[in-house]
Amino acid sequence: MENRNKRNLFARECIVMALLKLIKEKPFSSITISELTAKAGVSRITFYRNYTSKEEVLTSYIHDILYDYIQTHSNGKDHSGIFYDRAHVAHALRYFDQYRDFIDGLIECGFGILFLNELTSIALQIWNPDKQPSLNNQLIAYVGMLYNLYIAWKDNGRKESLDYLIDDAYHICVRAFHFE
């Protein structure tokens, strides 16, 4: 059973990576499942055992990396501090950079909004479980700011260091949320 799960995880990873390569070559809408499975080196049966569509490949992987994002931050348990403190800003932007190929691919094929929506949803669940309207708006602004700064950094060829981007984002948070 364990070998089967490992093979399945490997097949899913191959499908995601193949889709990212194909996205760089042609529009997302023109990628066929046959092309995708050939590029991934898996059968169509394997694809449909794991996914119902190309879009699900993206959304499923977004869920996987965001689950990992939560787990890697304070071991998934302690989300203490203020959501926009330096540690949280740094963790988010370093994590985006760790998955730059995937996130850049999402943005390039017009699906960056999926990542933004899922990230916003997670931030709201973690930081605003009581659903306070004013905090809701702050979290939406915070996540949007991080996401848009990342895109601007990417579009500018990542000329500044990641540490510079983190410092810049943190200082924006300080000014926007009156924190220091």
- Going from N- to C-terminal start, the domains of the chain cover 1-51, 55-177
Residue-by-residue pLDDT tens, the chain, 180 positions: 566 677 888 999 999 999 999 998 999 999 999 999 999 999 999 999 999 999 999 999 999 998 888 887 654 455 556 788 888 899 999 999 999 999 999 998 889 999 999 999 988 988 888 898 988 999 999 999 999 999 999 999 999 999 999 999 999 999 998 754
Q: What is the structure's pLDDT at 21?
A: 93
CATH code for the domain defined by 1-51: 1.10.10.60
Q: What is the structure's pLDDT at 180?
A: 47
Q: Fill in the amino acid letter for 83.
A: F
* pTM (two decimals): 0.84
Q: What is the structure's pLDDT at 81?
A: 64
Q: How far is Cα of residue 138 from the mean position of the Cα atoms in its chain?
A: 20
